[in-house]
Structure 1
Amino acid sequence: MKTKRLALSAISASFLAGVLSVSSVQSAEVPAGVKLAKKQEIVRVNGSEPSSLDPQKIEGVPGAYVTRDLFEGLVSDSPGGGTVPGIAESWSADKTKTIYTFKIRKNAKWSNGDPITAHDFVYSFQRAVDPKLASNYSWYMELAEIKNASAIIKGKKKPSELAVRAVDDYTFEVTLNKAIPYFVRMMAHYTTFPVHKATIEKYGNKWTLPSNIVSSGAYKLKDWAVNERIVLERNSHYWNDKETVINKVTYLPIVDRNTELNRYRAGDVDMGYERIALEHFRRLKKEIPNEVKVTGRASIYYYAFNNKRKPFNDVRVRKALSLAIDRDVVASKILGQGQIPTFNFTPNNLDGFVPPANPYAKMTQQQRDAEAIKLLKEVGFGKDKPLSFTLLYNTDDNHKKIAIAISSMWKKKLGAKVNLENQEWKTYLDNKRLGNYDVARAGWNGDYNEASTMLDLLTSNNSLNGSQYRNKEYDALLAKAKTAENPSEYYTKAEAIIARDMPVAPIYQDVTTRLIKPYVGGYKGNPLDNTYTKNYYIIAH
């Protein structure tokens, strides 16, 4: 779900040459003189229990972290930013930049020793768009402009008609509808990871069980005790295994941040999840500053309105609720970890994005509140006739604190009656995706370093557009951006439409705050928070 990759200018330059490849690969880089611990094992907190470990069915950060250890795609994201070869050792594009050819490593193998071939990628790409699988990320293949993906997802063509083919066992070819400058870096996303056809055909939905799964990455699944732990061990068949240092990875599904901190302090955890408990952050920054890692993130925290449900189908109601949120209080007082208050859906640290002038951002909070009261009054709501609704959020201490604060703002300023409802991760995801809510806590982490990774989420055909927002003008702008020499102007116009229609209420641009023991080497934060355990090593301590 994320990555920092080659800058657009660098990619464009490489396009001119017609060949896109790099010599470096992603691996653990142990500095000279560093003494490694004899026991190379790491315990990582993974937030909620993953909804799946199937690359084509994952939705959410918890599953993404584990899957990036278990599987590998054509390319990967380097720790410091950039795109590096994965299972593909090189790639090239034709003159039109619509036909890409990837050369598969001949020493790439599955965890059971089978060779990984171009046929595996053909199967996996076709599987990702197959309506029978109903992948929550099938739209990603549309976004990548792979020819026939859209028609297949809509049931108008067969999965076998997706424009991918194995030229030979080690040459994989992809044909696009149109050239897009960021296609290669999109291939680092887990939806494009290869899966083992024979295993899936033999075990069906149970193929990801430890006794059945066959994977392609640096690690293989040893044990999965639901709601207790996920244990991975080194995959000796991985093509770059000799550069891997960590032998065992344990993921703990700890939701409660205080519990996470206690386990970390007790020495049970080496690497925390993506957020430190708010009430402890400032103190920890003073006590153990070298263990508190803060990284700017291409991520937005927002509240989604159900645009199809009354009264949220009225833009005035949506705007009133959005304007009444004091973003400065949320970012600075409640969080205070470096989050940036925003009215934009697109983070300002993504390549090629120029935010539009937003009239609400220039107002004082008092002016916003006055406008919010006026808008609700126009619809017929006020303190004498309160707006009443339910705010949904997934179980998490930070989400709860924010929900309590914002609901209090709505009550105090607008007289709204808000019922708070929290649900565990899987249930929350299902209800948000299906639109079974009034207003819902939401967040989005960029999948690649370009503005479309955020803005495409609100297009009409995106299966993850849980806000039920539909706007043809908005869709057209995003479609034009894909082939534009300078897509920035279309992104700016699209962002302006979001400000006008307010289908969601952007609240703040997020950061990653993570606890990491000083003996864990190799960690480099990046805006897309793509972390791979194979890059780490344990220092003698």
Structure 2
Amino acid sequence: MTKRILALAMILMLVFTTLIGCGGKDEVAEGEKVLKWNLNGEPKTIDPQQNSASDGGHVINNTFEGLMREVNGKLEPAIAESYEVSEDGKTYTFKIRDAKWSDGQAITAGDFEYAWKRALDPNLIPQPSEYAFQLFYVKGAQEAYEGKGSLDDVAITAVDDKTLQVELIAPTPYFLELTAFYTYMPVRKDMVDKDPAKWATNPETAVSNGPFVLSEYHLGDKIVLKKNENYWQADKVKIDKIEAFMIVDYSTNLAAYEAGDIHANEGGTPLQEIPRLLEDKNSGFVIKPTIGTYYYIFNVTKAPFDNPKVRRALTLAIDRKQITDNVSKGGELPANGFVPPGLLDAEGNEFRTVAGDYGIKDTADVEEAKKLLAEAGFPNGEGFPAAEVLYNTSEGHKAIGEAIQEMWRKNLGISVELRNQEWAVFQDTRHNGNFSIARAGWLGDYADPMTMLDLWLSYSGNNDAQWKSTEYDNLIEGSKLQTGQERFKMLYDAEKMMMDEMIVMPIYYYTKKILVKPEVTGWEVTPLGHFFFGFADIQE
């Protein structure tokens, strides 16, 4: 069996090497520095206002740039040369630096006004932005998105080409961090108007303002980026071209990496190979902490998962420590709540510690789980209907699914089927509520518990649990009008509410498992999880 697996891996590696050889090696100019990078799948979109996934976010973080950018863990002015904040903390005035789009046209404050209001357009093509709610801090934004107001009345104003003014409904301590996030990145109206649904994947219309610009897009194969000569810090960009591949299979990815055909990858590592890679000091394998939670999500509108007792029984019946120690094996911590460690409240306390564990232990609480399932009408699993766990195609997700499938069978006497879908299809299936239980994960977009909790607002484009609670909405919306520990009291109450309802089953807190060749220097992954190669280099 081992020989057969090795032979298959070698065949896959040879096939992939042939493909990338045909697609890129012969086209490399003498002295040209080409970074080969695996995205682990094809992004659903690389449109800043349409994207809501990490793979698309990786590409956007290298092709676009917002008012601010996080570099080496510090938030720095980017397209904003400077900014001022009013005394009441509600009005921000940004001065736009002299910078150009990749086609040489000047970047203006109007480009930001257009992009931000575009994200709030309820009629956005091809679909409304799933991240529109990230702009609801702006006065008039939520009303416009919900059709109760006009986009013209949203308090985002290009005073002139160099001045952008934004008025918030209340002081927001992490607003500057938000302006570094992809939903807030500028796009050009004249380019979007040429093809609103597909402009971002067409090199003729995909003008951008980051260190790289789209050069080629081969559906299902690879994305090619080239250095943006008009980037305002182009003198710091040493890589000439990036070839971003879409290899889903972890073994194929690792084989290509170890053969030298890929320089960088995040997440696409066979779980059984992690101990070996960690021991090899020259492997380029590193594990970095990140703010995020891996979990299963319940569709609370579908029986029997519309019963909180069923959801809690399934949650208590799994052994998280066994999963992190023996399955994921990447230094993850068992998750006992939704908000991950690393986020502090106004008094400097760890949010996760103060909030507690909601009775969710690292190991399974089988007796309590059985009791709850019996109370829900399924003693020892009897009469529990056929159910399915949906996950996106991945060796890692499959292994975790199989472990949980066995835990539920052994501890509760219930059987579930596992079904996988390709990433883009999976995202639509989950978003449209066509599932009972599905794999999910959420990485923080900024360093505040709100980045996790506003996911469950009734109107959030990412509320795939289909859970709606006016009381929860009021807590989250009310917290936006408060400051200090009063604000955090409402956030603590909000997490308690969604965890009491157990709309999700936390499994573990993420780490980033990264492979980058030692000859690639100057790269970084932001604390919120996005690769940035803008100032990277490849040493000969």
Q: Tell me which of 174, 187, 194 is aligned to 1:195.
A: 187
Residue number among 64, 75, 91 corresponding to 2:68 in the alignment: 75
Residue 377 of structure 1 aligns to a residue whose secondary structure is: helix
Q: Which runs of structure 2 are paired with 1:443-462 in the superposition (5 Å)?
A: 443-462=441-460
Alpha-carbon shift at residue 52 of structure 1 (Å): 1.1
Q: Give the letter for the 1:179 counterpart.
A: P
Alpha-carbon offset, residue 396 of structure 1? 0.7
Task: Give the conservation status (yes or no) of the 8 Å contact 1:109–1:239.
Answer: yes
How much has 1:388 moved relative to structure 2? 2.4
Partner-residue secondary structure (3-state), 1:68? helix
Verify the 8 A CA contact 2:526 2:532 in the aligned structure 1.
Answer: no
Answer yes or no: is the 8 Å Cα contact 2:37–2:244 preserved in 1.
yes
Aligned to 1:421: 419
Task: Work out the CA distance in 2 between the residues paired with 1:269 and 1:207.
Answer: 28
> Is residue 387–residue 415 contact of structure 1 (8 Å, CA) maintained in 2?
no
Match of 1:41 among 34, 50, 57: 34
Matched, 1:376 2:363: no
The superposition leaves residues 163-203 of structure 1 with CA deviations (integer Å, 9 ceiling, x where unpaired) of 11111110001111111111111111111111111111223
AA partner of residue 249 (structure 1): I
For the residue of structure 2 that corresponds to 1:319, the secondary structure is: helix
Unaligned runs of 5+ in 2: 1-29
Q: What is the CA-CA distance between 1:393 and the residue it aligns to?
A: 0.5
The Cα shift of 1:495 comes to 2.3
CA contact (8 A) 1:324 1:409 kept: yes
Corresponding position: 1:329 with 2:322: yes
Shift of 1:245: 1.2
- What is the CA distance between 1:477 and its match in structure 2? 2.6
- The residue type equivalent to 1:198 in the other structure is D
Cα distance in 1 between the residues matched to 2:289 and 2:513: 9
Does the 8 A contact of 2:393 with 2:423 survive in 1? yes
Which residue of 237, 241, 256 maps to 1:248? Answer: 241
Q: How many angstroms does 1:104 deviate by? A: 0.2
Corresponding residue of 2:390: 392
Instruction: Report the AA paired with residue 382 of structure 2.
Output: D
Equivalent in the alignment of 1:94: 86
1:158 pairs with one of 150, 153, 158 = 150
Residue from 120, 127, 152 that aligns with 1:129: 120
Look up the SS of the partner of 2:35 in the other structure: strand
Q: 1:38, CA displacement in angstroms?
A: 4.5
Check the 8 A contact 1:343/1:499 in 2, yes or no.
no
The whole-number CA distance in structure 1 between the counterparts of 2:479 and 2:100 is 38
Query: Deviation at 1:139?
Result: 1.3
Q: 1:11 aligns to what?
A: none
User: How big is the shift at 1:266?
Assistant: 1.1
**Offset at 1:218?**
1.1
Using CA pairs below 8 Å that are at least 6 residues apart, which structure has the higher relative contact order?
1
Once the two structures are TM-superposed, the CA of residue 359 in structure 1 deviates from its matched residue by 4.7
Are 2:197 and 1:205 aligned? yes
Secondary structure in structure 2 of the residue aligned to 1:534: coil
Alpha-carbon distance, 1:526 to partner: 4.2
Contact 1:232–1:250 under 8 Å retained in 2: yes
> Among residues 290, 294, 297, which one is paired with 1:297 in the alignment?
290
Letter in 1 for 2:69: S
What amino acid is aligned across from residue 182 of structure 2 in structure 1? Y
Which residue matches 1:114?
A: 105
User: Match for 1:463 among 453, 461, 464?
Assistant: 461
CA displacement at 1:456 relative to structure 2? 1.1
Aligned partners of 2:279, 2:469: CA distance in 1, in Å?
48
8 Å Cα contact 1:296-1:512 kept in structure 2: yes
1:275 is displaced (CA, Å) by 4.3
1:536 is matched with 536
Deviation at residue 309 of structure 1 after TM alignment: 1.2
For the aligned residue pairs, the C-alpha RMSD in angstroms reads 1.6
| Code of the aligned partner of 2:118 | R
Question: What TM-score comes out, normalization by structure 1 length?
Answer: 0.89
In the alignment, the residues of structure 2 paired with residue 61 and residue 214 of structure 1 have an alpha-carbon distance, to the nearest angstrom, of 21
> Structure 2 counterpart of 1:503, which letter?
I
Identity of aligned residues (%): 36
Does the Cα contact within 8 Å between 2:334 and 2:509 map onto a contact in 1? yes
- CA–CA distance in 2 between the matches of 1:205 and 1:56? 11
How big is the shift at 1:475? 2.5
- Give the Cα–Cα distance (whole angstroms) in 1 for the partners of residues 503 and 215 of structure 2: 43
Cα drift, residue 204 of structure 1 = 3.0
1:271 to 264, 271, 275: 264
SS class of match (2:196)? helix
Aligned partners of 2:195 and 2:363: how far apart in 1? 59
Is the 1:320–1:373 contact (alpha carbons within 8 Å) kept by the matching residues of 2? Answer: yes
Q: Deviations over 1:332-363 (max 9, x none)?
A: 11112100001110111123342323352458
Q: Which runs of structure 1 show a deviation greater than 4 angstroms over 4 or more consecutive aligned residues?
A: none
Matches within 5 A, 1:476-495: 476-482=474-480, 483-486=482-485, 487-495=487-495
